[in-house]
Amino acid sequence: MIDTFKTPASVAQEIAGRVKQRRLALRLTQVELAQKAGIPLATYRLFETKGQIALSGLLQIAFALDCMSDFDALFAGASWATMDDMLAQAKPAKRVRHD
């Protein structure tokens, strides 16, 4: 799980590290994965080293690694820190009467 106190850059690096681990586990070279994903090798190398890539490129890599389902939860719904937060969100809003 991604820590909420991390920066966008550190999260991108973490994701790139996970992709690299998956690539190595599948015994793919950078060249092979870039070809399989349909992206330039330079684009893939930049992602793996610096975590920088366009969303479309990341999706192509995820597809090539059979990880598209990992995106299903992204922005899927609200999350709450406490049960009180959830209950407060669930209460219907009061109607304001405009006369």
Domains of the chain: 8-90 (1.10.260.40)
3-class DSSP state of 6 = coil
Residue 16: pLDDT above 90?
yes
pLDDT confidence of residue 92: 58
- Average pLDDT over the chain reads 86
Residue 37: pLDDT above 90?
yes
Displacement of CA 95 from its chain's centroid (Å): 38
Report the distance separating Cα 83 and Cα 60, nearest Å.
37
Which residue has better confidence, 29 or 70? Answer: 29
pLDDT confidence of residue 39: 98
pTM reported for the whole predicted model? 0.72
The tally of CA atoms less than 13 A away on the side-chain side of residue 18 is 14
- Cβ atoms 65, 27 nearer than 8 A: no
